[in-house]
Amino acid sequence: MKKIDVLRKCIVTGEVKDKEELLRFVIAPDLTVVPDLHKKLPGKGVYVTNSRKMLETAVKKNLFAKSAKQKVTVSADLVDLTEKLLQKQSLNVFSLAKKAGVLVLGLEKVLELLKKEKVAFIVEAIDAGEDSRARVALAAKNLEIFKLFSVEELDQALNKVNTVHAALIKSEMAQMVHKEFDKLAKFRLN
């Protein structure tokens, strides 16, 4: 069954996009702007392109109030809070992948799995050593390598020590993790 695109308009660019490309915010009863990453909170959604710069522009230009046609309160840390929520959501799904048994940890195990061509994508700590980075890059060939988290952040998510490299085995769970990682990466890069 084909997914039906649900389109929404970004309050910054005015572009109409699939709502999966946008971040949703709602105006709470106390008239504060609240991130709604799961897109399930009640109330009229206000959409911003999934980009740190776009969200900063929306805050700076008071576009939430203009869109809501009323005075609203935007927290000074809305942009950082949104990024933290995206990161938390990504790490939660990553942790679930471990529990689902589709996550392989450790440089040698990741390199071995790459030889079997069962890897959906690689996760590499941003503070990984140059030697191990080079080995993974060479073995991964055209596979995507996400470098979004520190060793400490990966360790906390997985309740492990020294998590530097991980590979996700091709599966539906890997697709879910990829979607969340991609959302965070796009937020940070754009």
Count CB-CB contacts under 10 A for residue 111: 18
**Tens digit of each residue's pLDDT (9 = 90 or more) over 17-51:** 999 999 999 999 999 999 999 999 998 899 999 99
CATH number for the domain formed by residue range(s) 7-76: 3.30.1230.10
Separation between Cα atoms, residue 50 and residue 48, nearest integer Å? 6
Separation between Cα atoms, residue 132 and residue 165, nearest integer Å? 9
**Angle between the 130-140 and 107-115 helix axes, to the nearest 10 degrees?**
10
What CATH number matches the domain at 82-189, 1.10.10.410, 3.40.50.10880, 3.30.70.890, 3.30.1330.30?
3.30.1330.30
CB 177 within 8 A of CB 171: no
- Domain residue ranges in the chain: 7-76, 82-189
Tokens 């309740």 found at: 159
Residues in the chain, total: 190
- Amino acid at position 177, single letter: V
Q: Which has more confidence, 39 or 78?
A: 78
Q: Look at residue 3 in the predicted model and tell me its pLDDT.
A: 58
Phi-psi bin for 127: left (phi > 0), alpha (psi -120 to 50), beta?
Answer: alpha
3-state DSSP assignment of residue 159: coil
Q: Look at residue 43 in the predicted model and tell me its pLDDT.
A: 85
pTM above 0.75, yes or no: yes
